[in-house]
Amino acid sequence: MYGLGLAKGLMITLKNLTRKPFTIQYPEERVSQHPRFRGEEFGWYEERCTGCASCAKYCPLGIIKIVTSPSGTAKPQGDKYNLEVFDIDIGRCMFCGLCVEACPYDALFMGSGFERGRYARSELVIGIDELRQAEKRPSTWFRPQLENAGYSPHDGPPLSWKEVGREQNRWHQHEKSGARINRADIGEGRSSSAES
Ligand code: SF4
Ligand code: SF4
């Protein structure tokens, strides 16, 4: 019958008028994020990083750039690397987390941020200084112990590496029990390189 479709359409409109809206007035209002959300700022624990570049090799997009040089600080042990460049181009990142999964030393974590609009793509590259300075509030993604403990990267405190490492790793258990692996000379190596 002519006009029936119009009536049905109006009924749907009326129904939706009384329905609670799904949308919110961002940024004044915010939806709560899941603690496993994989965001942009990355958490990097320099004291754990050996410069092995596994994260860069496993990144399917090739957007992590790592440059190292022998530090000359631990020759009896075969030496260690100075990290000179650690760039992550988050403008092209798809937040798959494979770099975090690939890190054998628990040095890299996903972050939780998502508000990083910029006018130039070049400003979306996170450099080593920003990684150093960023607060360590890792996403609980790939860290079941953090999720089990109810940690929230959005309002929880910054965490030290001892609180975030994978429990099953032997070196983590050793560090938690007090037998900490001494990596203090990483910083020493960096300064000696800068002076030379
Ligand atoms: S999250 Fe994925 S795309 Fe982004 S840097 Fe890591 S491996 Fe690459
Ligand atoms: S973050 Fe992990 S995988 Fe990447 S260079 Fe450092 S130790 Fe290696």
Contacts of 115 (CB under 8 A, 6+ apart): 27
Ligand nearest to the CA of 161: 2
Tell me the CA–centroid distance for residue 50 and ligand 2, in Å: 6
The domains located in the chain, with CATH, are 35-195 (3.30.70.3270)
Of 123, 110, 117, the closest CA to residue 44 belongs to: 110
Closest atom, ligand 1, to C-alpha of 38:
1
* pLDDT (0 to 100) of residue 145: 80
Q: From first to last of its 196 residues, what are the pLDDT tens digits of the chain?
A: 678 899 999 999 999 888 888 889 999 998 888 999 999 889 999 988 999 999 999 999 999 999 999 988 877 777 789 999 999 999 999 999 999 999 988 899 999 999 988 999 999 999 999 999 999 999 999 888 888 888 999 989 999 888 887 655 555 566 555 545 444 433 333 333 333 3
Of the chain, the end-to-end C-alpha distance in Å amounts to 89
- Asked if 83 and 127 touch (Cβ cutoff 8 Å), the reply is no
* pLDDT (0 to 100) of residue 193: 37
* pLDDT (0 to 100) of residue 74: 76
Tell me the CA–centroid distance for residue 183 and ligand 2, in Å: 14
Ligand nearest to the CA of 125: 1
